[in-house]
Amino acid sequence: MKRCSIFRVLFVSLCLACSGLGQTRSETDVNSDWTRAAMLRYYMVGRESCGGVGEGVRGEENPNAGKKKPIVGVLLSAVLPGAGEFYAGSWLKGAVFLGAEVALWIGYWQFSDRGQEWEIIFHAYADEHWDEDEWLEWMEAHPGFADTTHTLPDTKTQQYYEMIGKYDQFKAGWDDYYDGDPAMTPNRDYYEGLRHTSNLQFKRASYCAMVSLGNRVLSILDSAWTIRKLNRRVEGKLRMSLKKGRVDVVPCLTLCVNW
């Protein structure tokens, strides 16, 4: 009778031990399966996107991600206005600066071409209506003429065409001049109008060049300001990722703030 009781106690103890062992093995298997799956996920995604032990979050969470270099934008705008704004992602302002630059240079070349056309016209008119030999004869006949402060160039340079119309000293060379006539003869007056029109076109071309330089400077300053504003803009990112700990890989919630 005692032997049966002893056997019963041993049987119950053995069953309890097997049950506890089975339960422990089951939990261990479950944890092992989860750990293996997490480790596999970790290596498939990549260490850089999950971060290692003692490391900050890298990859998408890099604080420098998406930032621009101001020096690059400044150099681009110095070469071509608007390029720095395009680099910073400001497409509208970039188009404005670039469009203004193109329009100014088109204006520069157009005004320069018109100035050259009018220059050809007033040169031809002067060659037709002003004669150097007649002017020299008149000067010899009037040795006491006081207004002889300018010397006519030997060749027909820009200064030559300016002097024959600008100064009274050379008025006798015009074909409609005679003694007693006012300083401005009709032909000389008309010639000065032609020369003024040419000079006006060249002056407008120079204005376009000066405004273009100002547009370039503004684009440089604006690109630097735009890139700095872009870099200082606060951006937040909240994402779920895996982080490798000392033993296992654990899920973590990551909040990135860039400014």
82/170 same-domain check: yes
Residue with tokens 């520069």: 108
Confidence of residue 183 (pLDDT cuts 50, 70, 90): low
101/228 same-domain check: yes
233/121 same-domain check: yes
177/57 same-domain check: no
Strand partners of residue 258: 235
Domain range spanning residue 173? 70-237
Collapsed DSSP state (helix, strand, coil) of residue 256: strand
Confidence of residue 56 (pLDDT cuts 50, 70, 90): very low
Lowest mean pLDDT across 108-117, 152-161, 197-206, 234-243: 234-243
In sequence order, the 6+-apart residues with CB closer than 8 A to the CB of 244 are: 42, 47, 50, 51, 52, 53
Residue 252: φ, ψ to 5°: -145, 155
The answer to whether the CB of 177 falls within 8 A of the CB of 140 is: no
First to last CA, the chain: 84
Number of domains in the chain: 2
Alpha carbon 253 to its chain's center: 39
Tokens of 173: 């060379």
225/250 same-domain check: no
133/199 same-domain check: yes
In sequence order, the 6+-apart residues with CB closer than 8 A to the CB of 134 are: 172, 173, 175
Residue 154 has a pLDDT of 85
119/52 same-domain check: no
Q: Is the dihedral of CA 100, 104, 105, 109 positive or negative?
A: positive
144/54 same-domain check: no
Confidence of residue 6 (pLDDT cuts 50, 70, 90): very low
247/227 same-domain check: no
Dist CA 126 CA 167 (whole Å): 14
129/176 same-domain check: yes
185/233 same-domain check: yes
Query: What angle is formed at CA 71 by the lines to CA 69 and CA 72, rounded to 5 degrees?
Result: 70
Collapsed DSSP state (helix, strand, coil) of residue 148: coil
96/52 same-domain check: no
